[in-house]
A and B are shown apart, each in its own frame.
Chain A
Amino acid sequence: MAKRITINPITRLEGHGKIEIFLDDKGDVENAYFQVPELRGFEQFCVDRPADEMPRITTRICGVCPMAHHMAATKTLDDLFHVEPTPTARKIRELLYSIFMVEDHTLHFVYLGGPDFVVGPDAPATERNILGVIGKVGLEAAGKVIDTRKRLRAIITNIGGKIIHPVFGLPGGVSKGITEEEREEIVKVAKDTVEFAQFLLKLFDDVVLKNKTYVDLIVGDIYKHNTYYMGMVDENNHVNFYDGELRVVSPGGKEIAKFKAQDYLEHIAEHVEPWSYIKFPYLKAIGWKGFVDGEESGVYRVAPLARLNASDGMATPLAQSEYERMFDTLGGKPVHNTLAFHWARLVEALYAAERMLELAADPELTGTNIRNIPTATPDEGIGVVEAPRGTLFHHYQTDKDGILTGVNLIVATVNNSAAMCMSIKKAASGLIKGGNVSEGLLNMVEMAFRAYDPCLACATHSLPGEMPLEVNLYDSNKNLIRTIKRD
């Protein structure tokens, strides 16, 4: 009586992400697959283009985190053309990057991941969205969210040219500087943003941590994987989004590698499966052992919780104390509970806001020396940043005129692809017993991958934050026996 459950998250007609769950004769989960049915082929069609255009081409990989691609491409060009950005340019880049990080993390928490907690995993589906969040936190707080997002996005538009697909990054610098007047305005917004990030953490405290049901969910086994973790750190092993070395820690929390972006090929490899267009990166030193966790498996995770696990702390004081509080509460490092990604995301939002304020207060920000013109012959360049959804690698090879001959990209969410498959399977296995599929499954399975904030499809784009789900249950003759739909 083998059964198959298809979860087509975005409705059948969209098809950017799909889950297939197979049940055995007892009706328990035999296996589950998280498929990504999309490929656009940037790695190939960028070939023959001038490398200097990459910051404006690769932004179109993602319109939700275009800044991450813009910055990774720009840093790759620094490396490719062998040129350092001027100190002012470097600060402008990191400032805009910090603004983007806090804005993007906020969007996820309030619109996407947050409703599960703020409104509740078992609240009526119609309330488990941004409107439900507004109902719970009040209009004033909701207004703060919209207003903060708008102010942050306006700064990026002004300096970066466009908010969706910025244009200001060039090898050795940026195309436009910051005036003193603009700087003063940014300081104001930054101060409010620090307060805003603290407000979100307080909200998390009040509605999640004070509720035993939620805490049990977070620490429970259903959302737990013992994996390796990777994240970028500065010279003090503190989390950094813009620059530093990549550090990998084992499931036991031991540093097993620390390397420069330029050496990524020695550490990371990608596995291919015939049933998905997404590739599965793993740690080369450990090897691909399939969709399993533990020390023996090369599967690693990236993004907020992974970055916190892979670091020794945060570089700003308020974020540091939140970092300590998180690990104290959850029983020390590393934390393997997938739902803690949400908490880690807010700790990072606070860091990004504090970093924004630090950079905005720096008088060097308004310097006029914003570009170093490259003089060396281009050949090969590798650049990395921490995108909201994890480590993002760009790697270009060119001829002596800077025309691309080879491009390799490991996009943030892809690093987590194997872990997401595992999380789906574990959540489904924990929920489906004896062929019983409850409505609760829908949201619980969603929560397993929503924690990663995957940038695959509507999970990152949905407004008002609810992902439509439909589960079809077929009998062994492929007849539809039941449809569970959340509306």
Chain B
Amino acid sequence: MATQYSSSALVDNYLRKRKIPSTACSGCGLGINHKIVIQAIEELHLSVNDIVWGTSIGCAGRQTFATWQGDGFAGTHGRAYAIARGLRIALPRDKKIILTVGDGDAFGIGLLHLIHSARSNADMTVIVNDNLGYQSTGGQFGFTTPQGVKTDSSPYGMFEHNLMSEGMDVMHILKGAGATFLARHVCMDGAEAVESVKKAILNPGFSLVHMPYPCPTNFASRHLGSRNAVNIFNWMKERSAPLGKETPDTIWATGIYHDAVGSRSEFSDHIWSTVNKIRRTGAL
């Protein structure tokens, strides 16, 4: 039987009470994603001082910045991965970096930096909190917004080619770029999502967990015509299925996409061992 976690105990151990409850909208799924990550940290017996927590902009950035009791930063739009790579070089190797970012931040404006973080296999865990578009700016479509969905900037239905349709998947790009751990879970996945996040945190390399979650305020009100959180949670649940059990309606196949833990040297290990060798011998 899965362990039951009291939210208040997790808050006491890991979060800044001043930031809880967050300013997220009523019914928002972001808090569930956040709890999945904190639960994974708890189950790994990591302490506040073991982790540097980075965020960026949008709903995912603004609502999670400064919630972590320990060290934390928020980068500008899409740049947290580049900051994290520099930080990775400077931090003691046992410190872990967790980034909680949004879909626009990761797969739009920050995709180039994300790809290069994967290429270099920099040890960081990127949690992409995907609310299916640009919700903090009022509800425009993004690069993972499902086809046909009506948003403020797709009033006829989302018809652009994007990274989650026509056989394309941003996970393929990241795998090709060299990521060593990739998983996808909707926020309703619970314990399975926690397990994937744990594996991601333990991977000494670049990990990304894509975690779509519902936005009742903008996404649901435009596309489903209702802000009732139950509707959007059900709508997402019906469109998600474990990998291998997909149906024609499945948008989000969930589970571990790619596990190549230990297959490549980690960025900062590689850099520092190379630097030390050059320093010692004058050559490679």
Q: Do A and B come from one complex?
A: no
Residues of B within 8 A of A (CB): none
Residues of A within 8 A of B (CB): none
